[in-house]
Structure 1
Amino acid sequence: MKLLNLALVACSILLLNACDKPASQADDKPVLRVGATPDGYPHYFSENGTVKGFSVDILNAVAEKINYKVEWVTSDWVGVLGSLETGKIDTVGNFADTPERRLKYDFSVPYYYSAAQLAVSKNNESIHGLQDMKGKTVAADLGSNYAKVLKEFDPQNQIKLVTFEGQDVIFNAVAQGKIDAFVSGQVILLGQIKRKNLPLKVVGQPFGVKQVALPFRKDARGEDLRKKVDVALEQLRADGTLRKISEKWFDQDLSVKPATQEPAKG
């Protein structure tokens, strides 16, 4: 009888302890905090309170592989970069992997390849590509990599480059003819023009292909996350998930590196 009573007491204690814990505690997953801009279509955007987009699908697939959940932290691009540097977020979607950025961050393996392109006013008939930009003014997002890509293809500094904070400001300036062109990612330009019905058009061939990966800070947490993400991305590439997500958003497989166009020599 004493043994039975002790057993009942022990079971009661276990039940009380279980009741004291939140029901979801055992199911809680660690959080991967990802920085994004509010309107980064087609990479990330909000629709009916849900974050969607190409990079969103990639990050969600990665998170599922490593048994994490994604927490999206949105701000303007400068704020996203600041949050990454200060540790408020863990990584950023749609971030080109460049030698300069590698000095500050450790990058995962790439998940897609990005190319730059020019957009001009729909009524512009004089600019057909980079060859027509001598003496012209091109705008780029403040903090974006596309300004540097353009410089690689303008070794004699014949193009005047200006930067603005916010794509809408640039779209309006180009549409009104105040700026000759906008340099950004090919898929970003095509997506934004279609989605917003902008009076712009893309011109010329894409240039400056860069691999896009997930950046992590050079600390213990960053290193741990990068290693996990690398394994997940390799698995997603092998099983065809990266290709399927790319084709869903762009009607083409951007997860493989295309033929590259070399910058002009100075």
Structure 2
Amino acid sequence: MAPSTNCLDHIIYLTPPGSVTETAEEFRQLGFNVLAGGQHEDGLTENSLVILGDGVYLELISFVKPLEAYPHGSPERSARENHRWAAKAPGWIDYAFLRYSSETVRIPDIINDRAVAGGDEVLYGDGTAGGRTRIDGQILKWIVTFPRLSAEGRRPPIPFFCEDVTPRDLRVPSLDTEHPCSVQGIAFLHLRVPLEKLDELARSFDYIIGRSSIHYEWQLSTDKSIAGHSCRLLLSVSDTKVLEISEVAFYVKDKPPADTIQTTYGKIRFVVL
């Protein structure tokens, strides 16, 4: 049996350089438990984590330093300038699915074969090694596979894939999943794109996730299920030229003071179980 290609792993929330501590405190004030993460092995970014009961986590991430902190012409400045998130505005910027592979099967190959069979270009390139060191010194290793750049030199807003080399429970510890705000897991991830990109992107999601029976809506799986409730990816038309994650919705047990809140850089919606 072919491995699942629709398992949501984590969602990334970017804030300005050096702001991880402040962002972690903001999410704590919203009722989320936040774990210290660590610095990525390239030394450019650092993070904190919010682990949810469904096994998905939020990665609260920022660059360690602003671009101007690196000398002109230095390798460090070049790496900072060319980082895949260097041009991203703060907010919900990216998301990852779990990647699996064996000696004979790799998820990117499955998806690329579907795209070619559908008359389109392949969606994913080769995987690259990544990792970070936790604040307790534990070294984490993984392989990430990113979408291929478009003709305009941009990455389409489809998920990248992450496969653990070290055990996943080191990267995603099942700690502090009982949050004061009673959040249980992800209800949906909502993307908005310009009208002229809508059908092209929908076709890509069909290749990645599988063809949906509901227009512009796809069912996702998670590492741990929430009985009777599904995780979804929603796609709708934006009134701007920006391709963006417009909001992330969470299942909660208790009715919150407000169904929708605006963080400093993003939108959150709560759905009562």
TM-score band by shorter chain is: under 0.3
User: TM-score of the superposition, structure 1-length normalised?
Assistant: 0.27
TM-score (ref. length: structure 2):
0.26
Q: Greater share of strand residues, 1 or 2?
A: 2
Whose Rg is larger?
Answer: 1
| Higher helix fraction (1 or 2) | 1
Higher RCO (C-alpha 8 Å, min separation 6): 1
